Structure 1
Amino acid sequence: MEEDRKPEPGNQFKTVGLILACVLAGIVAVALGLMLADALILYAYESSGGQPMLYVMERVEPGENVVVPLTERDFVDHPALDVVIRGGERNPSAWEWGAGDRRFIGGVRVSYAESRALQDAYGPDRETWVYPHLEYEGAYYVVVTT
């Protein structure tokens, strides 16, 4: 006889509300878990000793490559670039033997975020894989990040 009884409408709303609350709590827990995993992975990368580097090479002539003039804003946006091209990390080697048109002028460790920003701004063209040449005070530079 009790099977013939219909459940009260108030109980149905409580059940639906409980299910919705559980679903929302699950979504929040998954999102927080993904954020924590991302933070831990980034921390592991940066503390592994495999921190990215910025290397700058000077060229005599840009050739047929795209030339990007550097401005003060570029140096403000990318302090590592400023340190290597104009600052204390500038230590140009001799012009490379056998290829007298280029030389290594310096390198510095950068964060993963800075490495990505430098790669996006001054990295190779995605179709041709040719690096642009940066021009500053009459000299041409190629920027490479690891």
Structure 2
Amino acid sequence: MATPHPTKSTTSVPERTEEDNQRLFQFYKSWILTERDGKARFDKYPRKRKVLKEFPQISQYLGFNLLSVAILQEDEEEVEFLAMKYPSYGMEVNYCGQPPIHIAVLVVNLRILSLLTEQVNPEALNIADNIQSRHVSVAEW
């Protein structure tokens, strides 16, 4: 009889139910996002952004597409690649209604912001988030 590999687990991880997924989503939403007038918004606080940067699975769970995740991680090469290869990513919004350009303004990385303004559809600049803020007003927030 073969012995199990010492680094491999012999126990299985139970699958998450839809209810588990909803609870997890609510937790992420309450901790990472702020609410104003009952509408969620990606928080501008660096400590919370750091969690999303280090755990991209959380940001994807909140509807951040690959371009937004690359922006959060400040991966300039990946941002440039994704913006050029998949321009439609620039128009997609996360749970808060924010396109990647909003995230870039909050991250305050001028190189990434410059890449996006060159590559992304100009209409993305006018997308308002859930509380009707546009990227320029996000910068002032």
TM-score under structure 1 length normalisation: 0.24
Q: Tell me which protein shows more helix as a share of its residues.
A: 2
Q: Tell me which protein shows more strand as a share of its residues.
A: 1
Which of the pair has the greater relative contact order for Cα pairs under 8 Å at 6+ separation? 1
